[in-house]
Structure 1
């Protein structure tokens, strides 16, 4: 019985097990100073993620998400219309709140809608993952790789937006196309027996929304650890049950991913391989950014290629496209699947996202190089 439970746990947390194993193996065969591991762990990112989890759990517990779901369904009668509204809202939020924060807001809303209607939740969540990758491409604050490159190249905000606009429009048009043809066109069917009848806790909803806003602002100013501490201490004292409901395994999974991929990207043979690639050629840089994202995710790929690439904006295009395809291409994909917690989520994501990348990559390259 014990071994069966362990086996099921390992199966459900296979991503954590895989990257924890990679981290341990690399630490044995290629030991590094403690400072390297501390840098790869990205404590500020993990602290920011924890703060977001706390704030969003408070919003869920307040009943606000359930109320918003009912309001939205009352005004939209087509499944396609509901899907398009959610996809558009996801993309817009990702431009200003970052892709991860957008998912923490939208996926719980999608799940709430799915509980009271016939909305195909998994399909919509997969589309939302595509939408945040597309929407966050537009602005320098939309995702971590854009923020990193924006600070590195130091171009004006509007210049960054102007360069990325044709790329975003191409991506988002494809997302809307997939949304329209993949979602069923039938009417929304409500499930009254699943409607959550308890009232919204206005005070808890307000406090949680304020906590979310403060968390985003503090993260933007580099104080994620302090902000997370300011959230977790009062909850630990007065509402520890909320903390118990947080997905702590998600935090461990991201810690393992950061350690494993950070170490891998700094292996000597990986660095040596980069020296043999002429990244001054746009196509070489474009393909390298996409392939690097598929192997080690787009943020580590950005860090890996940034100092080797003569054109930082071209690299931004490449790694944003690289967020599609495999789930590891963008950490937003993993967050969406984890928040949704739907059976077969990884399989469905790849069935859509991999063909999407194969179509999107050449199309974006043509638009970026010859049209935009």
Structure 2
């Protein structure tokens, strides 16, 4: 892969490295200081989650679950419901980008088999992934970071994220009803093939399930994250060491680069106090986090703004609601667009238009509810 192709593929990583290097030239931190800037608990947990997700993908666990559900679909409407809420709930555990990488290609293939357009289904899946993932600490990178950075109590975390989750579930339900109004009884035909696990795969899947449980216990601080990391690494090395090659190391390094950049910003005289003075009220923090997410995406927005405010719940809601809106507001949205465009290049413009309209509508409907919560 040449440099131009790499930059195009990993634009966020390249921008984060540039910002880290540029800011370091101004503040001149030592190597030891730069290492201390990184929140290693977040990095280790994110690495462990990505590793176990790759493990499940290697055993086709999610694919088999999706196919099993599809066998139960008698109509287009049931197909929409199945995929939309399969993505919504799975993203809470396996992150929004993995849920889309798993189910979007399958849904596009199924739509081709059934001779129905896939554009609205993919858009709903993308919205469902971004909204479903906001519920749990491990659902997306910004949640994992904020949960760790602010040491948010578990109950408080879920009280906050459910402000988005419950209305989102209702909005998605209504959206499916409206979108499939003219096709609710149109039959959907799917091959009744049998899918089963090889005995060795059953054993590995069982091991990965235990690993996932240990990681979740680490996320919720029930066991030390370092113990969880060692257990995860040993288990993967014993079961399938090749999975280590499939981890998105650019994402991990992106986090490290943004940690360095944001810490450098806080050490610039006057800058930290100026930004902090602006981000005093919950409403302002919520609004700025949504606006920043539209431009630099919600993960960098969370990393940057967390250094200047203690309005935890406003920031948490803001960067999650901010995942809606523009295509780059959430990196998961870019993933689904690329997947759709690779199969339907002639309709990519239609996809972008409909995607933007749907996302803006969802964001407009959710913002008042979030503001009521942060300003209470």
TM over 0.5: yes
TM-score, normalization by structure 2? 0.71
| Aligned equivalents of 1:286, 1:21: Cα separation in 2 | 27
Is 1:57 the equivalent of 2:54? yes
Is 1:364 the equivalent of 2:361? no
| Aligned equivalents of 1:9, 1:160: Cα separation in 2 | 37
Change (3 A) 1:338 1:361: closer
For 2:233, the equivalent position in structure 1 comes to: 232
* Aligned CA-pair RMSD: 4.4
The within-5 A match list for 1:92-131 is: 92-94=89-91, 97=93, 100-101=94-95, 104=98, 107-112=101-106, 114-115=108-109, 118=112, 124=121, 126-131=123-128
Residues 90, 99 of structure 2: 8 Å contact kept: no
For 1:285, the equivalent position in structure 2 comes to: 285
| Aligned equivalents of 2:105, 2:305: Cα separation in 1 | 37
SS for the counterpart of 1:151 is coil
- The answer to which of 4-13 and 127-136 deviates more is 4-13
The within-5 A match list for 1:267-286 is: 267=265, 268=268, 271-277=272-278, 279-280=280-281, 283-286=283-286
Is 1:212 the equivalent of 2:209? no
Is 1:88 the equivalent of 2:85? yes
Provide Cα deviations, 1:151-186, integer angstroms capped at 9, x if missing partner. Answer: 35x6x82x6655654543434444445555567945
- The answer to which of 15-24 and 109-118 deviates more is 109-118
For 1:46, the equivalent position in structure 2 comes to: 43
| Aligned equivalents of 2:311, 2:18: Cα separation in 1 | 35
| Aligned equivalents of 1:141, 1:53: Cα separation in 2 | 10
Structure 1, unaligned runs of 5 or more: none
Using the TM superposition, give the Cα deviation of residue 367 of structure 1 relative to its aligned residue in structure 2, in angstroms: 3.3
For 2:66, the equivalent position in structure 1 comes to: 69
Using the TM superposition, give the Cα deviation of residue 290 of structure 1 relative to its aligned residue in structure 2, in angstroms: 1.3
- The answer to which of 250-259 and 221-230 deviates more is 221-230
Residues 38, 256 of structure 2: 8 Å contact kept: yes
| Aligned equivalents of 1:104, 1:333: Cα separation in 2 | 11
Using the TM superposition, give the Cα deviation of residue 346 of structure 1 relative to its aligned residue in structure 2, in angstroms: 10
Change (3 A) 1:362 1:112: closer
- The answer to which of 180-189 and 358-367 deviates more is 180-189
The partner residue of 1:17 within 7, 11, 14 is: 14
Change (3 A) 1:135 1:36: farther
Change (3 A) 1:16 1:305: closer
Using the TM superposition, give the Cα deviation of residue 324 of structure 1 relative to its aligned residue in structure 2, in angstroms: 1.9
Using the TM superposition, give the Cα deviation of residue 317 of structure 1 relative to its aligned residue in structure 2, in angstroms: 3.0
SS for the counterpart of 1:366 is helix
Change (3 A) 1:293 1:51: same
| Aligned equivalents of 1:14, 1:311: Cα separation in 2 | 30
Structure 2, unaligned runs of 5 or more: none
Change (3 A) 1:252 1:63: closer
Residues 88, 129 of structure 2: 8 Å contact kept: yes
For 2:147, the equivalent position in structure 1 comes to: 147
Change (3 A) 1:199 1:20: same
Using the TM superposition, give the Cα deviation of residue 118 of structure 1 relative to its aligned residue in structure 2, in angstroms: 3.1
For 2:257, the equivalent position in structure 1 comes to: 259
Residues 103, 128 of structure 1: 8 Å contact kept: no
Using the TM superposition, give the Cα deviation of residue 348 of structure 1 relative to its aligned residue in structure 2, in angstroms: 8.4
Change (3 A) 1:113 1:327: closer
Question: How many correspondences in the alignment?
Answer: 356
| Aligned equivalents of 1:170, 1:235: Cα separation in 2 | 38
Change (3 A) 1:225 1:340: farther
| Aligned equivalents of 1:226, 1:346: Cα separation in 2 | 46
Residues 117, 191 of structure 1: 8 Å contact kept: no
Provide Cα deviations, 1:27-60, integer angstroms capped at 9, x if missing partner. Answer: 3344323355335544333333333333233333
